[in-house]
């Protein structure tokens, strides 16, 4: 019998393909990779201060050098091109561009992003710029930071200055990255800079971040931005007992803080009733001035979704979900019987599928993009190789979840891995590695992990085998 050659169409069918034009890439953030903390006019951000405060960050690590990307960006862009990335999401450092937070533009600060954008474009990589990924100039924090309404207007000034310089080459702009973290970890639990622990301050920060977002959307559009977005770290919050009305009420509160307070304000024209009541309970409703909600609801073109882990809550007596969740008395997080990453975060990709389907139902009409997804594992570099099968498993499972949601109608336009490089993981310093590329912090040598090679294949076939 003659052997029959396999039908190439079968191989085609075995691949889970993403829609034509799906955007693939990776993300980073200024303070986490740039280093050069005192160069070319940059002033300290709240993270420089926080990192220097004893006991705040793992082993006192700071972003002073980080991945030295400020000096090595050309090599990093070349690496991105070798990996086949089509999109690169980075953030600009506010204290580089406006060293005194609100005053004149520092041309040398913008020059860096100008060079970076040109380098990306010359390698065929689409730049996607985020205005605020947590590095508020310390001088602004000294004036109240996000509890001060002025900060919202200063963010819009930063937007105007940045889009004026880069808008001819950067099409896609993001105002804020994960304002939940800025507000609730920065001012509520104090786990992030500036390290304040005050529920009133946290809720004031929510409103001023959202106001800053809306004002920046308008400034970006006025400056000619073609695609304007906001990136949220949204949660899939599940009840411990779906039949228990108290557990469902606990879910509603945590869902309000993580999801609806942001989503409804931006996409539905105003704060949801229960979150409005929460603002009033803490006396923060008086910060909401007439017209603010309309500014916040300025139309966006894309909603960025950052997703890492599911959460589960239940009702209880004498418990709370902690200071990052104001008003959560009577709710608690429940441990989940799931595998965890090196962060201790439970892994369950079905939660991403549920989240995307929920967004499609509750907030239709806004295209979505996964602007961060990934996992930290305790990687080991052996010779020239990091065999990070766990990370590949994580990414593969989450991409399957995205694919399933897309197949059922979710309008997801792209997927960006967090992160391109191992980097400064905030209060965990350099102790946690999220990169698909390993960084040796002593030599600054970059080594693509197995996951990077795997991701290159995924991008190449626009799908999963």
180 is in an annotated binding site: no
Q: Catalogue the long-range contacts made by 105-111 (C-beta closer than 8 Å, 24 or more residues apart).
A: 105/161, 106/40, 106/41, 106/42, 108/40, 108/41, 109/40, 109/41, 109/42, 110/161, 110/162, 110/165, 110/166, 111/40
32 is in an annotated binding site: yes
**Contact call for residue 425 and ligand IFM (CB under 6 A):** yes
Is 178 known to be catalytic? Answer: yes
Enter the tokens of residue 205.
């920060």
Interface residue with ligand IFM among 306, 309, 311, 325 (CB under 6 A) is 306
Query: Residue 292: CB partners within 8 Å, gap ≥ 6?
Result: 207, 211, 214
Interface residue with ligand IFM among 372, 388, 390, 411 (CB under 6 A) is 372
Q: How far is the CB of 179 from ligand IFM (least distance, A)?
A: 11
CA angle 209, 417, 463 (to 5 degrees): 130
Q: Which of 126, 141, 178, 293 is catalytic?
A: 178
Contact 433, 377 (CB under 8 A): yes
Q: Which of 453, 464, 462 is nearest to 82 (CA)?
A: 453
Cα distances from 112 to residues 91, 106, 140, 195, 392, in angstroms, run 12, 11, 22, 29, 33
CB of 29 or CB of 405, closer to ligand IFM? 29
CB of 184 or CB of 271, closer to ligand IFM? 184
Q: How far is the CB of 423 from ligand IFM (least distance, A)?
A: 7
**Size, binding site for ligand IFM by CB under 6 A:** 8
Is 227 known to be catalytic? Answer: no
94 is in an annotated binding site: no
353 is in an annotated binding site: no
Q: How far is the CB of 103 from ligand IFM (least distance, A)?
A: 27
462 is in an annotated binding site: no
Calpha distance 431→452 (Å, rounded): 20
Specify the residue for token string 């970076």: 116
Q: How far is the CB of 452 from ligand IFM (least distance, A)?
A: 17
Contact 179, 204 (CB under 8 A): no
**Contact call for residue 418 and ligand IFM (CB under 6 A):** yes
Cα distances from 142 to residues 23, 100, 107, in angstroms, run 39, 11, 24
CB of 106 or CB of 130, closer to ligand IFM? 130
CA angle 272, 334, 193 (to 5 degrees): 65
SS3 sequence of 198-256: CHHHHHHHHHHHHHHHHHHHHHHHHCCCCEEEEEEECCCEEECCCCCHHHHHHHHHHHH
**Contact call for residue 240 and ligand IFM (CB under 6 A):** no
Per-position x/- string for 142-181, each x denoting binding to ligand IFM as judged by CB under 6 A, each - no binding? ------------------------------------x---
308 is in an annotated binding site: yes
CB of 240 or CB of 372, closer to ligand IFM? 372
Q: How far is the CB of 145 from ligand IFM (least distance, A)?
A: 18
CB of 372 or CB of 379, closer to ligand IFM? 372
**Beta-strand pair 311-315/237-239:** parallel
Interface residue with ligand IFM among 29, 202, 275, 300 (CB under 6 A) is 29
425 is in an annotated binding site: yes
CB of 94 or CB of 434, closer to ligand IFM? 434
Q: How far is the CB of 194 from ligand IFM (least distance, A)?
A: 16
Q: Binding site residues, as ranges?
A: 32, 133, 177, 308, 418, 425-426
Give the residue ranges of the annotated binding site for substrate. 32, 133, 177, 308, 418, 425-426
Q: Which are the catalytic amino acids?
A: 178, 372
List contacts with ligand IFM (CB under 6 A): 29, 32, 178, 306, 372, 418, 425, 434
């Amino acid at each position: 019998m003659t052997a029959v050659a396999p039908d190439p169409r079968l191989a085609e069918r075995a691949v889970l393909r993403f829609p034509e034009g799906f955007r693939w890439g990776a993300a980073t953030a200024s303070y986490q990779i740039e280093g050069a903390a005192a160069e070319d006019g940059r002033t300290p951000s709240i993270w420089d201060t926080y990192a220097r405060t004893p006991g705040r960050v793992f082993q006192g690590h700071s972003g002073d050098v980080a991945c030295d990307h400020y000096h090595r960006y050309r090599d990093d862009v070349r690496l991105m091109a070798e990996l086949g990335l089509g999109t690169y999401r980075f953030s600009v450092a506010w204290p580089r561009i406006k060293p005194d937070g609100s005053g004149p533009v520092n041309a040398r600060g913008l020059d860096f992003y100008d060079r970076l954008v040109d380098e990306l474009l010359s390698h065929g990589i689409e730049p996607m710029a985020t205005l605020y990924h947590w590095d508020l100039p310390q001088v602004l924090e000294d004036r109240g930071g996000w509890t001060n309404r002025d900060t919202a207007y200063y963010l819009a000034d930063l937007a105007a200055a940045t889009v004026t310089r880069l808008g001819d080459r950067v099409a896609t702009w993001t105002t804020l990255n994960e304002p939940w973290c800025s507000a609730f970890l920065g001012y509520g639990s104090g786990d992030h800079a500036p390290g304040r622990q005050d529920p009133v301050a946290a809720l004031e920060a929510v409103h001023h971040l959202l106001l800053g977002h809306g004002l920046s959307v308008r400034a970006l559009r006025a400056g000619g931005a073609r695609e304007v977005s906001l990136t949220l770290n949204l949660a899939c919050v599940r009840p411990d007992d779906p039949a228990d009305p108290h557990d469902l009420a606990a879910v509603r509160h945590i869902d309000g803080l993580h999801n609806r307070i942001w989503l409804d304000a931006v996409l539905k024209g105003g704060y949801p009733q229960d979150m409005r009541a929460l603002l009033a309970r803490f006396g923060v409703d008086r910060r909401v001035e007439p017209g603010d909600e309309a500014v916040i609801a300025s139309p966006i073109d894309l909603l960025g979704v950052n997703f890492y882990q599911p959460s589960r809550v239940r009702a209880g007596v004498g418990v709370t979900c902690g200071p990052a969740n104001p008003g959560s008395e009577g709710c608690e997080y429940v441990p989940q019987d799931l595998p965890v990453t090196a962060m201790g975060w439970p892994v369950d990709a079905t939660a991403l599928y549920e989240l995307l389907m929920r967004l499609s139902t509750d907030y239709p009409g806004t295209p979505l993009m996964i602007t961060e997804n990934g996992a930290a594992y305790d990687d080991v570099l052996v010779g020239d190789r990091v065999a990070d099968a766990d990370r590949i498993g994580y990414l593969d499972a989450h991409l399957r979840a995205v694919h399933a949601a897309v197949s059922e109608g979710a309008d997801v336009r792209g997927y960006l891995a967090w992160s391109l490089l191992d980097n400064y993981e905030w209060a965990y310093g350099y102790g946690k590695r999220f990169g698909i590329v390993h960084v040796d912090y002593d030599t600054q040598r970059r080594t693509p992990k197995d996951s990077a090679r795997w991701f290159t294949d995924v991008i190449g076939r626009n799908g999963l085998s």
